């Protein structure tokens, strides 16, 4: 085969040629497919996280693009039907792929860089030239089998064909460039296919316009010197093989690419959601990695820890804490910053329970730090200022209450001591008054001076009354100070009842009352304080005697076994005396509240008897109750447990 | 007639009680504190001792226990005179070796009955 540039010869001898249009379409499809695969590979090159991967993808991309151009060229050559038999030189055929593989490599290297700008022009130029070089080297591999083949190239049209390749490459790469850097990043598939089609047209357009600039002539009859040549069948095989390879690669990369894109998109969505969630936490949130460097935090955390330097991922935990302490954000005693930080670091390394940090402006943060396995440490800061203030106020209030209580207790015990002393001091002269008046009374009577006996009797009675008051005040003060002790013993009730009855007899008789006593023979013994029981019964009976005139007083003792596990003794004193109104009943056990003041004058008594009686009942685990009606009489009921203190 | 040692620090009570008991024909010896009472009990050998418990120098419980510890005086009955104010005085008196007790203010009839029981 001989190649010449067109020399103006007569073109009437041109070999007749026509195209198989099915193969033409196939050739264009292969070019588009290869372009799509190559541009997709550019995305993989971009995403590669190591040099090694980057090189592998770059190689695959270059071979795909180069192979694609090559396959396009030879499918198009198969589509061209010439009247002479054609074969292809093996070496030149293989060699023809070299320039386009290299230029594809450069092109991919350029478009996979983060910034390309003007380099894209160089890449387009190289790509166009690479395609052109492949085409013309591929043409040079063509040879006639039985007769020589002469090719004439029309130079201007040939140059135009290369320019077509350069321009369309530029357009394709520009589209790809814009699509890949589209910040919204979605629906790029269509644009990508567009870019691949344009690139495919750059390849096929160059080829077919180049073919339009080519004229074939038959040489003379001498057979060509055939080198090792590929016949049409072999070419079909290799071209098909390459095409299938490219198509498979394109499909494979498409699937992988879509999957990766999907995953990337989902990751972005999930990351966005996570960020939103973290930001919506009302507390300060932060995550530190295993190296104790900040991975993530929310705005609230930045506000809380705002020590003047913007808090950004990568900052060391210690640096943030140190910054916060230095800026006086966290309140730490002066001179103790280092030891505080040391302790804080230790606590951070082995977090156990929540703790509280005191911030400037009397703000309190509850800090909850947790180790997350293989990830680092998560911390939450919650503002508990209000809670803390309430707590402080509460503890102040408690302290004040305790102080007040201590003061009150002290005052109470001082009062008790004063009462005890005073009572004792009062009693001594009272003894003398009572003793001397008794003595005088005896002597007056013996010496016949009856004139003075009445007045002496009044002195004596008043002194006895005064002494009784003093004694009862003392009793009450001892009870209230909790100093009254119980002396429990086994009490034989019939003898106590006899004794009490004989003691009150004079009071009963004085108002011409009738006392009837009912006590079952088999009454059990009672566990109680004898002196106090005696005082209770004396009180009730003498009251009944005092407030009843010419009436009846019933004193009954009974056992209440309604609840077998703890039996009770019930003492009931019923009189037919003056009785009490509802109001009087309500106050009857309160100190110094005899029914009214005139009562005291008329009936005597201290006004403390029933108060003490009630206290004694309660001390022994019992109760006292009263039922009364004015003009009808009163009923006092005392219930004591049979076995108190046992 | 029986001889009674009255141990009492309050002058008025001492005077009053000694005169009233004297009127009932008892011979009265006086001690004004616990220490005196132990000495007088030893030297004068009364038939009965009326012992106030709150006393200066040596209190009634201590004096009683000394009297009861001495073979010369241990047979002498001791009646404690306790103040109403102190419930546990009674137990303490009996624990110290008193034979009986009576409470102040003195009810003369009751006291005379107790005295006659021990020194009739």
Q: Could you report the per-residue pLDDT of A555-590, keeping only the tens digit for each?
A: 999 988 777 667 899 999 999 999 998 888 888 888
Nearest to A168 by CA among A128, A139, A217, A224: A128
- Cβ atoms of residues A167 and A35 within 8 Å: no
Q: What is the structure's pLDDT at A567? A: 86
Whether the per-residue pLDDT at A336 is higher than 60: the answer is: yes
Q: Kindly list the residues from chain A whose CB atom is less than 8 angstroms away from the CB atom of residue B91.
A: 487
Mean pLDDT of A134-147: 83
pLDDT over 70 for what percent of chain A? Answer: 91
Residue B31 confidence class, pLDDT cut points 50, 70, 90: very high
Q: What is the structure's pLDDT at A236? A: 78
Q: What is the structure's pLDDT at A3? A: 63
Kindly report the average pLDDT of chain A as a whole number. Answer: 85
Whether the per-residue pLDDT at A121 is higher than 80: the answer is: yes
Q: What is the structure's pLDDT at A249? A: 76
Q: Assign A184 to helix, strand or coil.
A: coil
Sorted by sequence, the CB contacts under 8 Å of residue A18 that are 6+ apart come out as: A81
Query: Could you give phi then psi for residue A125, rounded to 5 degrees?
Result: -60, -50
| CB proximity A412 to B under 8 Å | no
Q: Which residue has the tokens 């077998």?
A: A564
Q: Which residue has the tokens 């021990």?
A: B118
Whether the per-residue pLDDT at A72 is higher than 70: the answer is: yes
Q: Quick one: tokens of A274? A: 């996570």
CB contact under 8 A, A436 and B16: yes
Q: What is the structure's pLDDT at B30? A: 94
Nearest to B104 by CA among B52, B39, B44, B31: B52
Query: Could you give phi then psi for residue A198, rounded to 5 degrees?
Result: -60, -45
Q: Kindly list the residues from chain A whose CB atom is less than 8 angstroms away from the CB atom of residue B103.
A: none
- Residue A335: count of CB within 10 angstroms of its CB: 7
The 10s digit of each residue's pLDDT in A12-54 is 777 888 888 888 998 898 899 889 888 888 877 887 777 888 8
Q: What is the structure's pLDDT at A552? A: 93
How far apart CA B35 and CA B67 sit, in angstroms, is: 10
Q: What is the dihedral sign for C-alpha A369, A372, A378, A383?
A: negative
Q: Assign A147 to helix, strand or coil.
A: coil
| CB proximity A417 to B under 8 Å | no
CB contact under 8 A, A420 and B85: yes
> Residues 464 to 483 of A: which have CB under 8 A from any B CB?
467, 471, 474
Sorted by sequence, the CB contacts under 8 Å of residue A220 that are 6+ apart come out as: A147, A148
Residue A148 confidence class, pLDDT cut points 50, 70, 90: confident
Whether the per-residue pLDDT at A603 is higher than 80: the answer is: no
> Is residue B30 within a helix (H) or strand (E), and if so which, with residue range?
strand B27-31
CB contact under 8 A, B105 and A430: yes
Mean pLDDT of A198-220: 86
Whether the per-residue pLDDT at B79 is higher than 90: the answer is: yes
Q: Which of A431, A443, A484 to mutate to test the interface with B (most CBs of B within 10 A)?
A: A431
Whether the per-residue pLDDT at A4 is higher than 80: the answer is: no
How far apart CA A472 and CA A600 sit, in angstroms, is: 16
Q: What is the structure's pLDDT at B51? A: 92
More confident residue, A221 or A641: A641
CB contact under 8 A, B85 and A423: yes
By the 10 Å C-beta count (0-12 exposed, 13-18 middle, 19+ buried), B79 is classed as buried
Q: Kindly list the residues from chain A whose CB atom is less than 8 angstroms away from the CB atom of residue B108.
A: 438
The 10s digit of each residue's pLDDT in A517-550 is 999 988 888 889 988 999 999 999 999 998 999 9
**How far, in Å, are A27, A34, A41, A176 from residue A251 at the CA level?**
17, 10, 12, 19
Q: Which of A56-65, A603-612, A614-623, B94-103 has the lowest mean pLDDT?
A: A603-612
Distance of CA A473 to the CA centre of its chain: 63
Whether the per-residue pLDDT at B86 is higher than 90: the answer is: no
- Cβ atoms of residues A215 and A154 within 8 Å: yes
Q: Which of A219-228, A484-493, B14-23 has the lowest mean pLDDT?
A: A219-228
Q: What is the structure's pLDDT at A228? A: 64
Whether the per-residue pLDDT at B21 is higher than 80: the answer is: yes
Sorted by sequence, the CB contacts under 8 Å of residue A7 that are 6+ apart come out as: A152
Q: What is the structure's pLDDT at A23? A: 87
More confident residue, A203 or A179: A203
Nearest to A537 by CA among A521, A520, A551, A553: A553
pLDDT over 90 for what percent of chain A? Answer: 26
Q: What is the structure's pLDDT at A86? A: 81
Mean pLDDT of A611-629: 92
Which stretches within A357-384 are classed as H helix?
A: none
Q: What is the structure's pLDDT at A309? A: 87
Query: Could you give phi then psi for residue A333, rounded to 5 degrees?
Result: -55, 140
Strands A229-230, A623-629: pairing is unpaired
Residue A220 confidence class, pLDDT cut points 50, 70, 90: low
The 10s digit of each residue's pLDDT in A101-116 is 999 999 988 888 877 6
**3-state SS string for A49-84:** CCHHHHHHHHHHHHHHHHHHHHHHHHHHHHHEECCC
How far apart CA A132 and CA A309 sit, in angstroms, is: 59
- Cβ atoms of residues A143 and A87 within 8 Å: yes
pTM for the model stands at: 0.45
**How far, in Å, are A52, A82, A199, A361 from residue A74 at the CA level?**
33, 14, 18, 82
Q: How far is A432 from chain B (nearest CA, A)?
A: 6
- Torsion angle of C-alpha atoms A332, A334, A337, A338, degrees rounded to 10: -150
Mean pLDDT of B43-66: 90
Query: Could you give phi then psi for residue A110, rounded to 5 degrees?
Result: -70, -50
Q: How far is B71 from chain A (nearest CA, A)?
A: 33
Q: How far is B16 from chain A (nearest CA, A)?
A: 6
Residue A594 confidence class, pLDDT cut points 50, 70, 90: low
Cis bond upstream, residue A176 (ω within 30): no
Whether the per-residue pLDDT at A424 is higher than 80: the answer is: no
The 10s digit of each residue's pLDDT in A469-486 is 888 887 887 787 777 778
Q: Kindly list the residues from chain A whose CB atom is less than 8 angstroms away from the CB atom of residue B13.
A: 428, 431-432, 435
The 10s digit of each residue's pLDDT in A290-315 is 889 999 899 999 999 888 888 889 99
- Residue A69: count of CB within 10 angstroms of its CB: 37
Q: Quick one: tokens of A75? A: 């499918």
Mean pLDDT of A425-439: 84
Mean pLDDT of A166-179: 85
Q: What is the structure's pLDDT at A186? A: 54
Mean pLDDT of A374-394: 90
Whether the per-residue pLDDT at A399 is higher than 90: the answer is: yes
């Amino acid at each position: 085969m001989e190649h010449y540039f067109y020399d103006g010869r007569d073109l009437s001898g041109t070999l007749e040629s026509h195209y198989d249009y099915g193969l033409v379409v196939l050739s264009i499809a292969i070019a588009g497919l290869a372009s799509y695969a190559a541009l997709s590979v550019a995305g993989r090159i971009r995403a590669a996280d190591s040099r090694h991967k980057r090189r592998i993808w770059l190689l695959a991309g270059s071979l795909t693009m180069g192979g694609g151009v090559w396959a396009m060229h030879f499918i198009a050559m198969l589509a061209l039907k010439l009247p002479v038999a054609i074969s292809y030189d093996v070496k030149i055929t293989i060699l023809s792929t070299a320039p386009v593989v290299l230029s594809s490599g450069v092109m991919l290297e350029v478009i996979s860089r983060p910034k390309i700008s003007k380099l894209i022009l160089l890449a387009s130029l190289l790509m166009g030239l690479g395609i052109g070089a492949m085409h013309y080297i591929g043409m040079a591999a063509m040879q006639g089998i039985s007769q020589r083949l002469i090719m004439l190239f029309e130079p201007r049209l040939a140059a135009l064909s290369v320019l077509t390749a350069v321009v369309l490459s530029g357009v394709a790469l520009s589209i790809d460039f814009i699509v890949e850097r589209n910040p919204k990043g979605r629906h790029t598939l269509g644009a990508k296919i567009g870019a691949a089609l344009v690139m495919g047209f750059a390849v096929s357009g160059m080829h077919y316009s180049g073919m339009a600039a080519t004229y074939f002539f038959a040489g003379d009859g001498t057979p060509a010197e055939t080198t090792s040549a590929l016949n049409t069948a072999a070419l079909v095989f290799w071209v098909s093989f390459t095409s299938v390879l490219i198509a498979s690669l394109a499909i494979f990369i498409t699937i992988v690419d879509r999957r990766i894109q999907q995953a990337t998109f989902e990751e972005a969505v999930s990351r966005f959601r996570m960020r939103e969630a973290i930001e919506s936490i009302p507390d300060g949130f932060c995550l530190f990695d295993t190296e104790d460097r900040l991975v993530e935090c929310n705005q609230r955390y930045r506000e809380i820890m705002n020590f003047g330097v913007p808090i950004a991922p990568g900052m060391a935990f210690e640096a943030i804490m140190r910054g916060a302490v230095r800026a006086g954000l966290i309140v730490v005693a002066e001179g103790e910053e280092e030891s505080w930080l040391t302790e804080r670091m230790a606590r951070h390394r082995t977090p156990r329970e929540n703790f509280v940090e005191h911030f400037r402006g009397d703000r309190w943060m509850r800090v909850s730090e947790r180790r997350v396995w293989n990830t680092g440490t998560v911390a939450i800061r919650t503002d508990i200022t209000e809670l803390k203030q309430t707590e402080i106020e509460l503890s102040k209030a408690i302290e004040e209450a305790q102080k007040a209580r201590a003061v009150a207790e002290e005052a109470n015990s001082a009062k008790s001591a004063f009462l005890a002393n005073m009572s004792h001091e009062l009693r001594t002269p009272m003894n003398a008054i009572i003793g001397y008046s008794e003595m005088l009374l005896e002597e007056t009577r013996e010496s016949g001076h009856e004139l003075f006996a009445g007045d002496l009797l009044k002195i004596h009675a008043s002194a006895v009354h005064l002494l009784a008051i003093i004694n009862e005040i003392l009793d009450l003060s001892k009870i209230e100070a909790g100093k009254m002790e119980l002396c429990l013993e086994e009490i034989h009730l019939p003898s106590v009842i006899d004794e009490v009855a004989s003691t009150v007899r004079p009071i009963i008789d004085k108002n011409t009352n009738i006392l009837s006593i009912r006590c079952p023979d088999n009454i059990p013994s009672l566990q109680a304080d004898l002196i106090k029981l005696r005082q209770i019964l004396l009180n009730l009976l003498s009251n009944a005697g005092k407030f009843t005139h010419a009436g009846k007083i019933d004193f009954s003792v009974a056992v209440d076994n309604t609840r077998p596990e703890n039996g009770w003794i019930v003492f009931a004193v019923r009189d037919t005396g003056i009785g009490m109104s509802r109001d009087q009943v309500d106050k009857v056990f309160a100190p110094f509240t005899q029914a009214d003041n005139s009562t005291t004058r008329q009936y005597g008594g201290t006004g403390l008897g029933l108060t003490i009686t009630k206290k004694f009942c309660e001390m022994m685990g019992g109760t006292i109750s009263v039922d009364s009606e004015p003009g009808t009489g009163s009923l006092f009921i005392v219930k004591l447990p049979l076995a108190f203190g046992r | 007639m029986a001889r009674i040692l009255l141990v009492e620090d309050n002058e008025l009570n001492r005077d009053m009680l000694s005169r009233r008991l004297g009127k009932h024909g008892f011979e009265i010896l006086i001690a004004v504190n616990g220490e005196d009472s132990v000495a007088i009990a030893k030297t004068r050998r009364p038939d009965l001792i009326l012992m106030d418990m709150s006393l200066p120098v040596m209190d009634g419980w201590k004096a009683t226990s000394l009297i009861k510890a001495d073979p010369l005086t241990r047979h002498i009955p001791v009646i404690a005179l306790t103040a109403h104010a102190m419930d546990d005085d009674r137990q303490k008196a009996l624990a110290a070796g008193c034979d009986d007790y009576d409470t102040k203010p003195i009810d003369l009839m009751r006291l005379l009955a107790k005295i006659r029981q021990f020194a009739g």
